[in-house]
Structure 1
Amino acid sequence: MTEDWRVDRVDEIRSLIKQAEPDVVEQIKWRTKSNPDGVPAFSLAGLICTVEKYKGKVKVNFAKGSSVKDPDHLFNASLEAPVGRSIDLREDDELDADAFTALICEAVKVNRK
């Protein structure tokens, strides 16, 4: 585990996304002085999600989350947003890998409609 748990969490999420959809394209966007590493953005037939590090959490923002079926109720943030939905993960939160990869596949289905 690295000193910053968020780096490991982003790596875990990246791995799960690529496991779910091997053809996904990752780009680093929105590099700023305060965030020189930028924001990983994952696309396949359109933007799937971004993964951002905040103080105390990692946030996975699904671009079209309101249209994505979430039977395992992973979305826990931005639940009232008109289009997007998010998953906020804190250091000790468990991420159900199977449910997350299913959510990624569902998001790609939404993009392909």
Structure 2
Amino acid sequence: MTPSEQIDDYIAALTDWRGPILAKVRKAFLAADPAMVEQWKYMGSPVWERSGVIAVGNAHKDKVKLTFSHGAALDDPDKLFNNCNGKVWKAIDIHEGDDVDAAALQALIGRAIAFNLTKVKAKK
């Protein structure tokens, strides 16, 4: 099974509000860059990568969490990050009834991609 198929199954198994939210979030990640790659890592989590990990998505009992691996380095003018305890990572916790601003999320993903691309160039 491919990672995308595993993510399809994961979303389909979420029969409450979390399934549609995770599907909407996934769509934003895939629309952000045609080179975005989906992976299935960390003992069963959707992961979106572009020149490195962009974010991990998890459905918890009371929320959908998007953890951006280098979120602390990203500008967040739309104030999407609401779980910011890490010095490197930052997360967006989406609760039932929350609206997901897909355009703002896609812009944040774009900044994460730009950050990863800068890291790759710096290694050369």
Q: TM-score, normalised by structure 2?
A: 0.81
- Could you list the runs of 5+ residues in structure 1 that have no partner in the other structure? 32-37
Corresponding residue of 2:96: 91
| 2:35 aligned with 1:5 | no
Q: Give the superposition deviation at 1:80.
A: 3.0
Q: TM-score, normalised by structure 1?
A: 0.88
Q: Write the deviation string for residues 41-79 of structure 1: whole angstroms up to 9, x where unpaired.
A: 0000110000001011000000000001111110000x2
1:24 and 1:3 map into 2 onto residues whose CA distance is 26
1:3 and 1:47 map into 2 onto residues whose CA distance is 27
| 2:56 aligned with 1:50 | yes
Which is helix-richer, 1 or 2? Answer: 2
| 2:92 aligned with 1:81 | no
Q: Give the superposition deviation at 1:98.
A: 0.9
RMSD of aligned C-alpha atoms? Answer: 1.1
Percent identity between matched residues is 37
Aligned AA for 2:71? G
Corresponding residue of 1:21: 33
- Could you list the runs of 5+ residues in structure 2 that have no partner in the other structure? 1-13, 119-124
- Number of aligned positions between the proteins: 105
